[in-house]
Amino acid sequence: MNLTGMMLIGGQGVAGRRDMIRALDPSTDQPLEPGYAGADREQVEQACALAWEAFDAYRETAPETRARLLETIADEMEALGDGLIERAMVETSLPRARLHGERGRTCGQLRLFARTLRAGEWLDARVDPAMPQRQPLPRADLRQRQVALGPVAVFGAGNFPLAFSVAGGDTASALTAGCPVVVKAHPAHPGVSELTGRVIRQAVADCGLPGGVFSLLITDGHALGRQLVEHPAIAAVAFTGSRRGGEALMRAAALRPRPIPVYAEMGSLNPVLALPHALAARAEAMAAAWVDALTLNAGQFCTCPSLLLAVEGEDLERFRRAAANAAAAKPADTMLTPAIHDAYQSALHRLRRTPGVAERAFGQAGGGPYAAQAALFEVDAAGFAARPELAEEIFGPCALTVACRDQDELLSIVAGLDGQLTATLQMDDADLPLARELLPLLEARAGRVLANGFPNWVETSPAMVHGGPFPASSDSRATSVGLAAMDRFLRPVCYQNLPAALLPPQVADDNPLRLWRRVDSAWSQS
Amino acid sequence: MNLTGMMLIGGQGVAGRRDMIRALDPSTDQPLEPGYAGADREQVEQACALAWEAFDAYRETAPETRARLLETIADEMEALGDGLIERAMVETSLPRARLHGERGRTCGQLRLFARTLRAGEWLDARVDPAMPQRQPLPRADLRQRQVALGPVAVFGAGNFPLAFSVAGGDTASALTAGCPVVVKAHPAHPGVSELTGRVIRQAVADCGLPGGVFSLLITDGHALGRQLVEHPAIAAVAFTGSRRGGEALMRAAALRPRPIPVYAEMGSLNPVLALPHALAARAEAMAAAWVDALTLNAGQFCTCPSLLLAVEGEDLERFRRAAANAAAAKPADTMLTPAIHDAYQSALHRLRRTPGVAERAFGQAGGGPYAAQAALFEVDAAGFAARPELAEEIFGPCALTVACRDQDELLSIVAGLDGQLTATLQMDDADLPLARELLPLLEARAGRVLANGFPNWVETSPAMVHGGPFPASSDSRATSVGLAAMDRFLRPVCYQNLPAALLPPQVADDNPLRLWRRVDSAWSQS
């Protein structure tokens, strides 16, 4: 693939003016060409100004136009073929099959939003007909549609170079909603970002849209990210990454003269509750499947199941033994960046020195400079409850098993958990009474509750929720995956007694877009 | 009506322990009995703790139970008869007919939410059936329902002692969503608050619900309001009031260790655009209707139309002359509180001394210590654009007319406006071309766009939006009136592969609640 080392600002390839950013092949520690000179303040300003200029035209494009934009992006990402996958492989060290799957998911998500735009009922148009005879006051003719919030700043994630990056769920849902997007690429994969960005830039041009609809900034510093969040043209922020990063953006956005929403998905422990009957029936199989889920792609998932809770006893010991064996057999796996690897090593070091926490197993060593060993630790419930730092996410293939004295202690540990993206019940039918007690606690603390299986895979479908109470995400009312992701970038407008000639087509009398709409209170397509 | 001077904490009448708060009859300047001793920190703590304790039980009540709660509140507010209205009259000086209408609106809103709970499709339950054969990965069974966010702190508004106060839209929508409510009563109408609060307390008891579902705190200071917003049990805040008050709550909520959403409705200028053909055709009638809307209840509406924009010329002069005559004939009207009256007087004083701003007319004087005279001021567009303070809301029957040189200058003034609750086009058919240019600007800046009429009345219906871009409200995605008000207090939860025996009824296979649900992507009631 021919990489230029340039950013994209409003449709133009532009060389940065700051320090050179160079991706690294984490499996060899070798820097990769080309270098990308970072954006300066003026370039951030320019991207935001162009997004603002493009906003009025873009938000009023027909749904069909935006649907074609999304499909063109998906088609052209596929047309990049193996070149895109191979660049992603060297920049992230993620395996080929995973990246193929990730591209499939990314393109599937773009096409899902395209279908959604055409179907239209997700836009929730409403019509309350006038009631001129109503007493004591007549009712006016009222109509409601959703309009785009404004330009969105997207911070690409490091761990999904395609699905949560330049053309990922945040960009796709913002473009669906009618919002121009300014992406701050993750500095660990500038090459993949450039390739994906060029696809979007070309699709924007092919669909006859203004270049400001999409810009891609490459920068390594926090200052320019903050400038982006504080820019008056930016109306919302989407971020996937660390809690510290997310909280910094939340505060910056809240302290603007005009505060804006931040949708930060900051990860979580994703507790797995191994209930007694399931544990008795299949401790070994459950342990093996759990260690697979835990170590998949070096544990670099927001949904990595890194906390296991169970009641102590022989079944739990069988489980731990099997998990230890499985973990010990896992080869070390290269992490995304040296910084992530360092943070993982430091976290392991801290855990090992934490009183009450016991090492149980380590995976195989070796495998290159930034390879992570799987690691299993154990603690009892009292020790877990006494040390809040044990409830902080460790990004990587490391897990903590918490042994509870009895079911009451299990319930109390769950009640003490912070917000989570997911919570998983490993359960059999005989566990139902306990599961019933746990469910209200779990749904108050997690965006998604699973029975059996593991949470790594996040389906892009109408019912998915990828978000959860703080600190899993900044806003538990939102999801960053699934159809409702676009709701983050929409706001309702009500039209009162507007003449027919002035009404937008979504709420016009003859329903020219053939949308499902709520007319009075009933669904109707007429 | 027998008033006790007590607050309500978790079902109990409780005397405060701080300084005595006494309502004032603003028409006579006489203090009213009884005094209400203010809440102390411990009492705020207690109300929040009880709300938290009640949360788990309340959120899982059947929709029918919550519907009955809302209807019982409405029935019993009506059963209070004239006693409630008369207490409201002396505490606010609002006229009897207005307060009767306001109670009708409050009870209508409660019953609307009750019907909504029974109908259920507004809860947006979703079912994505499993696809076990899908390649390359099967799809899990995914279901989504909305769950309650947690206890809500409601700050009652001063200007609507019923509809935006203790049993107003915020309380009604939070109770609908399944959230316990802690109300901080507005200190200007503690008697009405106590009467309404007792109705809710009794309805909670009659429906067999825990007392912590509702508490009513009476306090005069900002410190306890802040304590409420910062309390870990509180999951969301609803506020109607001044921009300064709303921004203080927004910042406090954003800087909590666990940030929570604040829905602050902070008012706006509600610009009226008198377009040229409409102005030519009916300047005098439009002016009279505008002055009526402006001076209704001393202009004490969030939706008071206090900014008029038009192109200069003879028609605008006809309009201004007629408006001046209408305003001059308006009797002075007593404001809600001495503080509001003082602020109004100071604002008029500032306006009179603002270079470029001309006085045009004053209403009649007299009418008691806190009566406000209507006031009309004028400025040209350049003067308006040069002085940002002219775009700050003045709460009261005062308006500013801005004369633009031409349509381009009108468009540019509109483009420079901050977020608004409403924007009104006074237009005739011949104004359509200009209205088409204005509409995108208006819908990007206002939650509701009207043609003709005036914005004071806010319908409680599915399509209503009472909110708007900052600073009209803290969150333009939300409305505090209409059905979508309850969405503010809900969050989605996804259930993956849960056994049928564990699924909540909203998403169960046999649809026991007969809800309209989105099954895959189609609406279905089966």
| pLDDT attached to residue B120 | 81
Q: What is the pLDDT of residues B220-236, one digit of tens each?
A: 878 899 999 999 999 99
- Report how far residue B398's alpha carbon sits from residue B521's, in angstroms, rounded to the nearest whole number: 51
Across B375-391, b (16+ Cβ under 10 Å) vs e yields bbbbbbbebbbeeeebb
Q: Which residues of A touch B436 (CB under 8 A)?
A: 502
- Report how far residue A294's alpha carbon sits from residue A396's, in angstroms, rounded to the nearest whole number: 8
- Report how far residue B70's alpha carbon sits from residue A86's, in angstroms, rounded to the nearest whole number: 60
Whether residue A448 contacts residue B515, with contact meaning beta carbons closer than 8 Å, is answered with no
Q: ω into residue B505 within 30 of 0, thus cis?
A: no
- Report how far residue B478's alpha carbon sits from residue B265's, in angstroms, rounded to the nearest whole number: 10
Which one of B489, B496, B516 makes the best mutation probe of the A interface by having the most chain A beta carbons within 10 Å? Answer: B496
- Report how far residue A267's alpha carbon sits from residue A307's, in angstroms, rounded to the nearest whole number: 13
**In Å, how far from its chain's centre is CA A50?**
26
Measured in degrees and rounded to the nearest 5, phi and psi for residue B493 equal -125, 135
Quote the tokens at residue B418. 């901050």
Q: Which residues of A touch B494 (CB under 8 A)?
A: 447-449, 463-465
| pLDDT attached to residue B523 | 80
Mean predicted confidence (pLDDT) in A354-378: 96
Average pLDDT of chain A is: 96
- 3-state DSSP: chain B helix, strand, coil percent, rounded to 5? 45, 20, 35
CA closest to A124 among chain B residues? B463
**In Å, how far from its chain's centre is CA B192?**
18
| pLDDT over 90 at A491, yes or no | yes
Q: Is the pTM of this model over 0.80?
A: yes
- Report how far residue A314's alpha carbon sits from residue B495's, in angstroms, rounded to the nearest whole number: 30
How many beta-carbon pairs below 8 A join chains A and B? 211
What radius of gyration do chain A's Cα atoms show?
25
| pLDDT over 90 at A115, yes or no | yes
Least confident of A29-33, A132-136, A305-309, B77-81: A132-136
* Catalytic residue list of A: 265, 302
Measured in degrees and rounded to the nearest 5, phi and psi for residue B489 equal -115, 20
ipTM of the complex: 0.97
Q: What is the dihedral of CA B51, A388, A248, B246, to 10 degrees?
A: 20
Q: What is the pLDDT of residues B355-374, one digit of tens each?
A: 999 999 999 999 899 999 99
List beta partners, residue B404: B311
Non-local (6+) Cβ contacts of B304 within 8 A are: B270, B293, B294, B296, B395, B397, B456
Q: How would residue A525 be classed by pLDDT, with cut points 50, 70 and 90?
A: confident
Q: What is the pLDDT of residues B333-350, one digit of tens each?
A: 999 999 999 999 999 999
Q: Between chains, do B476 and A491 touch, taking CB under 8 Å as contact?
A: yes
Q: What is the pLDDT of residues A54-92, one digit of tens each?
A: 999 999 999 999 999 999 999 999 999 999 999 999 999
| pLDDT attached to residue B485 | 96
Amino acid at A156: G
Q: How would residue A323 be classed by pLDDT, with cut points 50, 70 and 90?
A: very high
Q: In this structure, what DSSP letter does residue A166 have?
A: T
Q: Between chains, do B462 and A56 touch, taking CB under 8 Å as contact?
A: no
Q: Between chains, do B492 and A101 touch, taking CB under 8 Å as contact?
A: no
A305 touches chain B (CB under 8 A): no
Tally Cβ neighbours within 10 Å of residue A257.
9
**DSSP per position, B26-55:** TTTTEE-SSPEEPP-HHHHHHHHHHHHHHH
| pLDDT over 80 at A113, yes or no | yes
Which one of B494, B507, B516, B523 makes the best mutation probe of the A interface by having the most chain A beta carbons within 10 Å? Answer: B494
| pLDDT attached to residue A514 | 87
A440 touches chain B (CB under 8 A): yes
Q: Higher confidence at residue B220 or residue A495? A: A495
| pLDDT attached to residue B139 | 95
| pLDDT attached to residue B520 | 85
| pLDDT attached to residue A520 | 85
Percent of chain B with pLDDT over 90: 94
List beta partners, residue B380: B403
Walk me through the domains of chain B, giving residue ranges and CATH numbers: 8-21+38-128+141-266+477-488 (3.40.605.10), 271-451 (3.40.309.10)
Helix, strand or coil for residue B401?
A: strand
| pLDDT attached to residue A265 | 97
Q: Between chains, do A448 and B493 touch, taking CB under 8 Å as contact?
A: yes
Mean predicted confidence (pLDDT) in A344-358: 97
| pLDDT attached to residue B435 | 98
**Facing B497 at nearest CB: one of A126, A439, A450:** A450
Measured in degrees and rounded to the nearest 5, phi and psi for residue A18 equal -115, -165
Q: How would residue B190 be classed by pLDDT, with cut points 50, 70 and 90?
A: very high
Q: Between chains, do B470 and A259 touch, taking CB under 8 Å as contact?
A: yes
The single residue listed with the structure tokens 């009895």 is A406
B32 touches chain A (CB under 8 A): no
Min distance B359 CA to chain A CA atoms (Å): 31
- Report how far residue A312's alpha carbon sits from residue A310's, in angstroms, rounded to the nearest whole number: 6
Q: Between chains, do A499 and B462 touch, taking CB under 8 Å as contact?
A: no
Average pLDDT of chain B is: 96
**DSSP per position, B88-152:** HHHHH---HHHHHHHHHHHHHHHHHHHHHHHH-GGG--EEE--BTT-SSSPBPPEEEEEEE---E
| pLDDT over 90 at B383, yes or no | yes
Q: ω into residue A129 within 30 of 0, thus cis?
A: no
Mean predicted confidence (pLDDT) in A367-380: 96
- Report how far residue B21's alpha carbon sits from residue B31's, in angstroms, rounded to the nearest whole number: 10
| pLDDT attached to residue A250 | 97
| pLDDT over 90 at B135, yes or no | no
| pLDDT attached to residue B136 | 85
Mean predicted confidence (pLDDT) in A405-417: 98
B516 touches chain A (CB under 8 A): yes
Query: CA nearest A294: which of A339, A327, A249?
Result: A327
Mean predicted confidence (pLDDT) in B60-65: 94
